[in-house]
Structure 1
Amino acid sequence: MNAPAKLRWIYALAIFFIVMVGVQLAIYTNHSIHSNSAQCLLVAYIELGLLAGYTIVRVIWRVSAQAYLSYKWGKHFRFIRHEKLTKRLRYKYRDLGVPMLVVRDDAFVAMAIGMRKPTIVISDTVMDMFSEEELKAIILHEWHHCRNRDNAKLFFTKLLTESFGYLPIMRPIYRYYHTWMELLADRFAIERMGTELPLASVLLRLSKLGNRRQHAAAVHFASATMQYRIAQVLEPDQAVKVKVAIVRPMLISLSLLTLLMISGDS
């Protein structure tokens, strides 16, 4: 099974559990409404209220946090914008058709920001640290995120993960999805350049830097998926096996669904 198919399967699994929880809650509530026990109905309303309240609060929190962070970092990056280098980079990569922004920052900043109209943000430090070929590999990686709308997809996945936090299966699915999102962006950059060497050089240097020169907002290129990304560029002919601890969370989530089914039938 290829990587895109794996992602579709894992995403379908998450949606399946979410839909099943909704269906079982609806059945449970309907059964309680038509029961003759006022106590049973009260318990059903309390349980449903708690789950619905938790989900709504988490949705509001995540959307609000995302809006705040987008505003905060957008304002910050505009304030430290490097006008000359921004114009130079935009002209050089004008064929990509994606807005670019170079910022003055001593840390490693290479990321795609925005969901409606993604923008590639690069720090002047990155332009100084790496060669033209290495910089191109970084930009192609971020371009893939832009053209694939990965920011919006990752936000939606994170939203589902936090909103349905009572389903243990959601977190490993999110980590798996995020890992493959980065691996596919790397593959895209390698295919476009025809060689894995520039990207391999960038990743190896970043792994040595650790967190010393990485910006707090730069969560895309220098991410926690580094070990898989390095393995992919060092052995491009070998299939990357991304570990996902899904069995135990799946069993717990299935147990929750079973409890809801039993409650609905009792």
Structure 2
Amino acid sequence: MIVMLGMFMLFQMAVFLLHHVGMNAFHMNSAMLPVKENSLVGLIISSIFIVILVRMVWQIGKQILLLLKWRKAFKNDQDLSATININKQYPRLNNKIVIVKNDNLIALTLGFLKPKIVISNAWFKNFTQEEVEAILLHEHFHCMKRDPLKFLAIHILLEGMAYIPSLKSLVEYYKTWRELLADRYAMEQMKNSLALGSALLKIAKSNRVVKHSYSEVTAYFAGASINYRIQQIVQPEHEVSVPFGMNKRLVISIIVLFLNVLAFISCIDSQFVLHKFLY
């Protein structure tokens, strides 16, 4: 839903910009806007849209560079023999596990098109085999669903559409539910919730969990939604209630989106639409 909303907003921006620079977008013969091409209003709106698009492109480049940075760092710290052994131990995870040498608790899914599970050897020193398996299955869910790519898309849209007040809350709500679904998958695969619950409790008490600058678009096991995840494990028969109330910011966001849609509709010449589709 978030991505569809973002694509619609980008479509509006593209149509506006193409028309405003006189490119006869979609053969509408400059009938898209109620303002003239060289008008001050059109210039201001076009400038705002250009800034938004530039911010989105900048974020794409930034996240790609961060991906390359962390891949290089993890490759340098990789424990090759341990990586080979664990992939043999868990063949159903399709050779997607990378073990790195690090005393901190690192467990994440990294990569957009071909995601990998990156886990530090600290887990094997402080957690049982069943707990590590639960963590790997949790991250495997993110790999299968390509969640890092989805997180990248919504992060870019969030940067570009920061003027929508409740969008950030909606993104956090979405990420929380992705973590809950990944936990459900791990519990279903292991046929119980004991190992995952034990791992989460240890993480909640640990001071060795490190979050890094790449966590915005990375499926990170020790995320901020641990309380909801523990609640799901303790009370599996009850649906977890993740709050996303009808607050003032949400009302303002709905109004902004409504006005945005009205503005876009008003840009289309009704006579052109009738002529194009009815005759």
TM class, shorter-chain normalised?
Answer: 0.7 to 0.9
CA change 1:32–1:49 in 2 (3 A) is same
| Matched letter for residue 104 of structure 2 | A
What percent identity do the matched residue pairs reach?
A: 31
The total of aligned residue pairs comes to 248
C-alpha distance in structure 2 between counterparts of 1:17 and 1:80, whole Å: 37
Shift of 1:188: 0.1
Choose which of 203, 210, 214 in structure 2 pairs with 1:214: 210
Of residues 166, 170, 173 in structure 1, which corresponds to 2:163? 166
Equivalences for residues 65-76 of structure 1 within 5 A: 65-76=62-73
Matched, 1:240 2:240: yes
The amino acid of 1:19's aligned partner reads F
| Contact kept in structure 2, 1:98 and 1:120, CA below 8 Å | no
1:18-29 superposed matches below 5 A: 19=8, 23=12, 26=16
Contact kept, 8 Å, 1:118 with 1:146, in 2: the verdict is yes
Change beyond 3 A, Cα 1:205–1:171 = same
Letter in 2 for 1:42: L
> In structure 2, what is the equivalent of residue 201 of structure 1?
198
Quick one: which of 27, 44, 61 aligns to 1:64? Answer: 61
Q: Among residues 175, 181, 184, which one is paired with 1:184 in the alignment?
A: 181
Between the aligned partners of 2:154 and 2:111, the Cα distance in structure 1 is 16
5+ residue gaps, structure 1, are: 1-10
Aligned counterpart, 1:85: 82
Map 1:96-135 to 2 at 5 A: 96-135=93-132
Q: In structure 2, what is the Cα distance between the partners aligned to 1:199 and 1:88?
A: 22
SS in 2 for 1:111: strand
Residues 128-151 of structure 1, C-alpha deviation per residue, up to 9 Å, x if partnerless?
111111110000000000011111
CA distance in structure 1 between the partners assigned to 2:33 and 2:223 by the alignment: 45
Who is 2:35 aligned against? 32
Aligned residues of 1:172 and 1:245 also touching (Cα < 8 A): no
Please, what is the CA RMSD of the aligned residues?
2.7
Task: Give secondary structure in 2 for the equivalent of 1:73.
Answer: helix
Task: Name 1:230's counterpart in structure 2.
Answer: 230
- Would you say the 8 A contact 2:99–2:118 is kept in 1? yes
Structure 1 residue aligned with 2:249: 249
8 Å CA contact 1:108–1:215 kept in 2: the answer is: no
Query: Shift of the alpha carbon at 1:54?
Result: 2.5
Moved beyond 6 Å, runs of 4+: 262-265
Deviates more, 1:92-101 or 1:176-185: 92-101
Which is bigger in relative contact order (C-alpha 8 A, separation at least 6)?
Answer: 1
Query: 1:236 offset after TM fit, Å?
Result: 1.1
Question: Displacement of 1:213 after TM fit?
Answer: 3.6
Q: Distance in 2 between matches of 1:59 and 1:235?
A: 40
Q: Is the 8 A contact 1:176 1:244 kept in 2?
A: yes
- Normalised to the residue count of structure 1, the TM-score between the two structures is 0.83
Q: Distance in 2 between matches of 1:88 and 1:232?
A: 32
**5+ residue gaps in structure 2?**
20-30, 267-279
Question: Matched residues in 2 for 1:264 and 1:95: separation?
Answer: 50
Q: Distance in 1 between matches of 2:11 and 2:211?
A: 40
Are residues 196 and 80 of structure 1, via their aligned partners in 2, closer, same or farther at CA, if it must alter by over 3 Å?
same
Structure with more helix by fraction: 1
TM-score by length of 2: 0.80
Report the Cα offset of residue 84 of structure 1: 1.8
1:192 CA displacement? 0.4
Alignment of 1:148-167 (within 5 A): 148-167=145-164
Q: Structure 1 residues 22, 99: closer, same or farther in 2, change over 3 A?
A: closer
Shifted more, 157-166 versus 241-250: the winner is: 241-250
Q: CA deviation at 1:49?
A: 1.7
SS class of match (1:165): coil
The alpha-carbon deviation at position 82 of structure 1 amounts to 0.8
Of 122, 134, 141, the match for 1:144: 141
Superposition deviation, residue 87 in structure 1 = 1.2
